[in-house]
Structure 1
């Protein structure tokens, strides 16, 4: 490789690892990765905008002889991933941080060879669609793959408002509801703002333009790892996300999606599956009876993003989406569905049944707890915003 290329990679890495000092707050995955045995490589996957690059650069500062580069850099386009890392190892680097690894053809085979030669340790990031279990059984024994979900309400407040809110367990929230509500009352009004600009960590100025660009890259580039993408597929993906955004959680079933989009039910199921793999949709399965269709929710803040296109989002859908976006990452979660006309609570989280609703939500469904707007407690009512502090 040309010395100029290597010098440019080193200079860019130094500049970026200095730049990242502007971001002292760290996502929860930072400490988890530091605890992983150095015998393993580590992969970080997640949708665009959740902080993977910043996390990689923060980690790079923690290890000696580290270098960072992005696999989609034009500097290394003529070279394989193996060639680049081999040259960096020759220069003396021992910890190599590779961003957007899925953008480099043949990355799985190159990574296996690099691991087998044991000259460097690699920590890399990629889209939500990468899966080392399906790409290579050899890699699955060598790499620990971690998911970086969108920033939780707690993390968003800590990063954007310079707070220091601790992580709470579900058990703490349910057993200490009154005390925690009194302690954190001032953050309750902010959950609605979180539903508009939370989850992803783009600057407030130009936020929606950045999110729109990110969505298009996820659909056109990241999903190409799953299947061939064309203009029609892109259009159908956006139409599906828009349809879910304006629907109540259980209105967007496969049959209605197929009818609304003018596609087959088989294609509707496949499209939902693809967008779930890409991290844009959450599918919540029914408790027990897997024959029933899943409830479909969007990743925060996509529902509010699509609302800008000319409809009013239902507040009940936002409440459920906030709840699902947080609980799905930390506990077994399913929805309860009774017979036709039968009223049932919304969700089962582990062994606990929880209904999600507004301030006036009653208990006629007889849940164990009711997650509600506001800061009123008592009678097993838990302010909804507290569930945003679980990761």
Structure 2
């Protein structure tokens, strides 16, 4: 197992404990088996290595392996676990498990066969862990790691130690919260717009964002051509059509889809187009928004389609529409923070079926939400809110 130990050591040497993604401290690391899904580049690998290096009790024997390591050309994951346990191993970290063909069956066998071995693994956000050929639903705890919030971006790039704010706190006292944060951040609006363009994924820190957008384009490409293609067994023709579909949406998001028209343009069936949309959402490339509905209606075509985050807008379009960018950010941050968000009948968004939000620029009026209880204006390019008008950048502190 020397090649694996050497490979692990090279990676661990480069990992520090300076910055943690928000999910790191929420995970039940004491669990026997833990899965972390998420967009490429969101920091899943770093979280595993940070826990291996800093989070395990003193003396715990831990092994990291990535599922496309050459070691697995001649060994199975089950063989690797058996050898590690025989060598006194107590924890096994498997990165990008979706790249291993029989992952669910072997993970189940490892879990059942070695009850004293802790098992942690990461997977593409596009992977349905519970849909594997072996039943893991009673064995694994699964968590999803989205991209960074505006708060995390400031902490990573500018060495802050800013704490998250709940939606209830934000709505009840936006003036005091925004005033306090403005003193700590000093120039929130320019930094916020910087984040909207290139702040969602932690690799922005590598060179202060100079090569961020080209790297993000590679994330998009790999998410489609590697992750989705491997997981869903797509043909080269399907991959080309998925890219065309994403391109059409990027040019006109927020996109109100006519599935029949899209199907005709792409020469695909309606059900296939609808499946592609939901798979692109699972891959963290789209956010599908619907009006509140019950039962089967919620499974039909989306009422509106957004790119998953604002950085994608800048990667896929030369000049993104500011109004679209605002709505994309708001939807993204609320969903990532765990709130239920739908399209509103009046206003833009309905959150937890309680709060209505109209998202706009500095001079956005209350006209569209007049008379609606628990309704708020969310405005870009203002530093401090007043009455029911709240700065857009504040919603970047929810996680």
TM-score (norm 2): 0.88
1:37-76 matches, within 5 Å, as: 37-38=30-31, 40-61=32-53, 62-63=55-56, 64-76=60-72
2:327 corresponding residue in structure 1: 320
Deviation readout 1:14-49 (Å, 9 max, x if unpaired)? 22222111x51001111122x3543x3000011101
Runs of 5+ in structure 1 lacking a partner?
1-5, 338-343
2:389 corresponding residue in structure 1: 381
CA distance in 1, matches of 2:217, 2:146: 18
1:144-293 matches, within 5 Å, as: 144-185=141-182, 186-202=187-203, 203=206, 204-258=209-263, 261=266, 263-288=268-293, 290=297, 293=302
Q: What's the Cα RMSD here?
A: 1.9
Q: 1:194 to 1:262 in 2, by over 3 A?
A: farther
2:365 corresponding residue in structure 1: 362
CA distance in 1, matches of 2:172, 2:263: 44
**Which of 116, 126, 133 lines up with 2:112 in the alignment?**
116
SS of residue in 1 equivalent to 2:10: helix
1:149 CA drift (Å): 0.7
**Which of 21, 26, 34 lines up with 1:32 in the alignment?**
26
Runs of 5+ in structure 2 lacking a partner?
none
CA distance in 1, matches of 2:282, 2:216: 18
SS of residue in 1 equivalent to 2:122: strand
Give yes or no for contact 1:168–1:390 (8 Å, CA) kept in 2.
yes
1:131 CA drift (Å): 2.2
How many residues are aligned here?
374
Give yes or no for contact 1:345–1:353 (8 Å, CA) kept in 2.
yes
TM-score (norm 1): 0.90
SS of residue in 1 equivalent to 2:377: strand
* Range that drifts further, 282-291 or 233-242: 282-291
1:248 CA drift (Å): 3.9
SS of residue in 2 equivalent to 1:233: helix
* Range that drifts further, 377-386 or 200-209: 200-209
1:317 CA drift (Å): 0.4
Give yes or no for contact 2:37–2:124 (8 Å, CA) kept in 1.
yes
